[in-house]
């Protein structure tokens, strides 16, 4: 089977155990994650041939990051190595009305110093059918944005389908910067994914009747957003995840898919949160898997939403679930009865 390639930054995530706050911690649990790495993880877990591309430092920490992907079957042969550092993020888990807090320490990482020509995209895309990246990667720096463009162009040239998760990160760039760079990349993107805030933050396309902080979302407004995105950039498909933030412990979770003609709305799950990091990434992976598997749009959005709802019950960034588990939930069994 032809492989899927994802490209971005994988970081070491350090989290105080349980609900400890940073200043209370006497140690950290170690996870690894990053937008595109999380997608690669899920696709490998679903049985697809998946290759993850990044730049890592040649030290035990960089090796450990690559090993964690390799452990779950992601191909890491296209990773390149240097002497810089592994990006780190510290993540403290919230509860009830206390939000989770993330402290990034990712500047000057190996991938943030990657530049045009570092990667042999022609070789990387050999036998590839799909390329996925997120808005985080070009935000790492103009040099990395150039690498993204280079990758997108190579993908298009080689007939590889391209998906992008907008994933706006305000601590990496401004909306203006994001708009300028992402606008250049959009022509190469076939499938766009965004969350309830991204379209507004990046392209200024705002959903009506929605107040994200207050946790109330209006699906109709997002249909309009999807429609505008499609008409602006000519995407084949646009998917939007819809999170209702009731508290740090409970979220509503859904998503919609627009194929340029029709809207498909996924189920709405009320999730008791174990770890919500990587929720959007697991949605992307679910969507990519569905489309590669030839699912109809309604089934595709259902799979993507169910898969990513399950992510919220899994510790770490990676969505450690298999296809059968997602399909069982899709069929309506959310009873959580013990599987013996």
Site for its own copies in 113-152 (CB under 8 A): none
Question: Is the CB of 30 or the CB of 219 nearer to its own copies?
Answer: 30
Q: How far apart are CA 19 and CA 339, in angstroms?
A: 28
- Residues 205-224, interacting with its own copies (CB under 8 A): 212-215
159 binds its own copies (CB under 8 A): no
Confirm or reject binding of residue 299 to its own copies (CB under 8 A): no
Span 269-298, contacts to its own copies by CB under 8 A:
269, 271-277
Distance of CA 134 to the CA centre of its chain: 7
Distances (CA, A) of 44 to 7, 19, 41, 292, 328: 15, 30, 5, 13, 19
Q: How near is the Cβ of 142 to its own copies at its closest, in Å?
A: 19
- Alpha-carbon distance of 17 to 31, in angstroms, equals 12
Give the total of residues touching its own copies (CB under 8 A): 86
Structure tokens at 207: 């959903």
Q: Does 324 bind its own copies (CB under 8 A)?
A: no
At which residue do the structure tokens 């690669």 appear? 40
Judged by CB under 8 A, does residue 252 bind its own copies? no
Determine the Cα–Cα distance for residues 51 and 125; give it in Å rounded to an integer. 9
Q: How far is the CB of 225 from its own copies (least distance, A)?
A: 19
Cα separation of 33 and 317, whole Å? 5
Give the one residue of 39, 285, 300, 314 binding its own copies; rule: CB under 8 A: 314
Subset of 72-101 contacting its own copies (CB under 8 A): 72-73, 85-86, 88, 90, 92, 94-101
Task: Extract the tokens encoding 64.
Answer: 């450990």
Task: Count Cβ atoms within 10 A of the Cβ of residue 221 and give its class: 0-12 exposed, 13-18 middle, 19 or more buried.
Answer: middle
Please, what is the minimum distance in Å from the beta carbon of residue 188 to its own copies? 27
Q: Which stretch binds its own copies (CB under 8 A): 66-74, 112-120, 145-153, 180-188?
A: 66-74
Taking the complex as a whole, how short is the minimal distance between the CB of residue 248 and its own copies, in angstroms?
3
> Rounded to the nearest whole angstrom, what is the least distance from the CB of residue 246 to its own copies in the complex?
7
Subset of 1-60 contacting its own copies (CB under 8 A): 14, 17-30, 59-60
| Phi and psi torsions of 62, nearest 5° | -65, -40
CA dist., res. 289 & res. 293, Å (int)? 6
Stretch that binds its own copies, among 1-9, 62-70, 110-118, 233-241 (CB under 8 A): 62-70
Q: Does 260 bind its own copies (CB under 8 A)?
A: no
Q: Which of 155, 199, 242, 321 is the binder for its own copies (CB under 8 A)?
A: 321
The one segment of 105-113, 140-148, 180-188, 286-294 that binds its own copies by CB under 8 A: 105-113
* C-alpha to C-alpha distance for 266 and 263, rounded to whole angstroms: 10
Residue 257 burial (10 A CB sphere; 0-12, 13-18, 19+):
buried
């Amino acid at each position: 089977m032809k492989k899927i390639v994802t490209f971005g930054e994988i970081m070491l995530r350090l989290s105080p155990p349980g609900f400890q706050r940073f200043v209370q911690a006497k140690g950290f649990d170690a996870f690894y994650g990053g937008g595109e790495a999380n997608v690669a993880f899920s696709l490998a877990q679903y049985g697809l041939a998946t290759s993850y591309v990044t730049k890592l430092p040649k030290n035990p920490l960089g090796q450990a990051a690559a090993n964690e992907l390799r452990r779950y079957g992601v191909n890491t042969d296209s990773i390149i190595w240097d002497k810089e550092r592994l990006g780190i993020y510290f993540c403290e888990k919230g509860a009830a009305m206390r939000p989770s807090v993330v402290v990034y320490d990712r500047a000057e990482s190996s991938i943030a110093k990657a530049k045009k020509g570092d990667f042999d995209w022609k070789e990387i895309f050999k036998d590839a059918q799909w390329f996925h990246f997120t808005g985080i990667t070009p935000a790492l720096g103009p040099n990395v944005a150039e690498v993204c463009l280079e990758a997108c162009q190579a993908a298009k040239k080689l007939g590889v389908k391209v998906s992008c998760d907008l994933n706006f990160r305000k601590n990496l760039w401004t909306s203006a910067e994001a708009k300028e760079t992402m606008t250049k990349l959009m022509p190469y993107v076939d499938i766009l994914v965004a969350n309830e805030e991204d379209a507004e933050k990046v392209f200024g396309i705002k959903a009506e009747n929605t107040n994200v902080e207050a946790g109330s979302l209006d699906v109709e407004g997002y249909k309009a957003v999807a429609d505008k995105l499609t008409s602006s950039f000519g995407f084949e498909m646009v998917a939007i995840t819809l999170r209702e933030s009731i508290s740090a412990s409970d979220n509503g979770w859904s998503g919609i898919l627009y194929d340029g003609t029709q809207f498909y709305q996924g189920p709405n799950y009320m999730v008791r949160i174990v770890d919500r990091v990587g929720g959007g990434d697991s949605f992307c992976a679910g969507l990519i898997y569905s489309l590669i598997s030839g699912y109809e749009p309604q089934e595709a959005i259902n799979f993507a939403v169910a898969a990513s709802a399950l992510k919220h019950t899994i510790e770490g960034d990676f969505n450690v679930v298999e296809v059968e588990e997602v399909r069982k939930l899709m069929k309506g069994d959310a009873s959580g009865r013990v599987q013996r």
